[in-house]
Amino acid sequence: MSESPREVAHRVASDAELIAWVDEHDNLLGSLVRSELRERGLIGRGTYIMLFNSAGELCVHRRTLSKAIYPGFWDVAAGGMVQADETYAESAARELAEELGVSGVELTAHDHFYFEDPGSRLWCSAFSAVWDGPLVLQPEEVLEARFLPLEQVLDEIQRMPYCPDSLAALERYLRVHGGGVAKKL
């Protein structure tokens, strides 16, 4: 499967977005183009929105191959980088609407934490929402999406490529809200 011209154009536009640049304590330093922030190994802000249905199933989606980080991986949260002029909550609402077509839902804030791996350094805010309506996938970023019982998600992450940053958000969420389920992560 190769990248579509639409995905490539979206990636170029995404890399040019002005992103909030912060220090190790999440103090705003200014804004930088996304690609420069990544290339210089500086710290940005990210949001993670775990979308559940009323049955308690979690929406997981597969990222397109054009994504700069974790292309083709499965993801347990919608989300992305906080733009220069946004709050975490504004970014979360925008990302949920863009990626999954979900808007007008109450976002519940859960956690604020630091995440780092070889591809990114982020201050993160995690949210959750409940949605039983249809999903409208952003074709430039999302290949497919489905709601799964948490037990199935926890099984899949052991054998399929899932994004480690959103798994960190899910693990922290489950420690508080998931009881024994969190022990499997």
95 annotated among ligand-binding-site residues: yes
Domains of the chain by range and CATH?
5-184 (3.90.79.10)
Q: Whole-angstrom distance between the N-terminal and C-terminal Cα of the chain?
A: 30
Q: What is the pLDDT of residue 71?
A: 93
Q: Which tens digits make up the pLDDT trace of 62-98?
A: 999 988 889 999 999 999 999 999 999 999 999 999 9
Q: What is the pLDDT of residue 182?
A: 47
Do residues 23 and 43 make contact, with C-beta atoms less than 8 angstroms apart? yes
Q: What is the pTM of this model?
A: 0.89
**Residue 15, CA distances (Å) to 32, 39, 52, 82, 139 in order:** 10, 11, 29, 13, 17
Count the Cβ atoms, other than its own, within 10 Å of residue 134: 8
| Half-sphere exposure (Cβ direction) of 182: Cα atoms closer than 13 Å | 12
Count the Cβ atoms, other than its own, within 10 Å of residue 8: 13
Query: From CA 92, how far away is CA 74, in angstroms rounded?
Result: 19
Do residues 21 and 43 make contact, with C-beta atoms less than 8 angstroms apart? yes
Rg over CA atoms, the chain? 16
Closest CA to 20 of 124, 126, 145: 124
17 annotated among ligand-binding-site residues: no
pLDDT less than 70: residues of the chain? 1-3, 7-15, 179-185
Q: Which tens digits make up the pLDDT trace of 39-54?
A: 999 999 999 999 999 9
Count the Cβ atoms, other than its own, within 10 Å of residue 59: 25
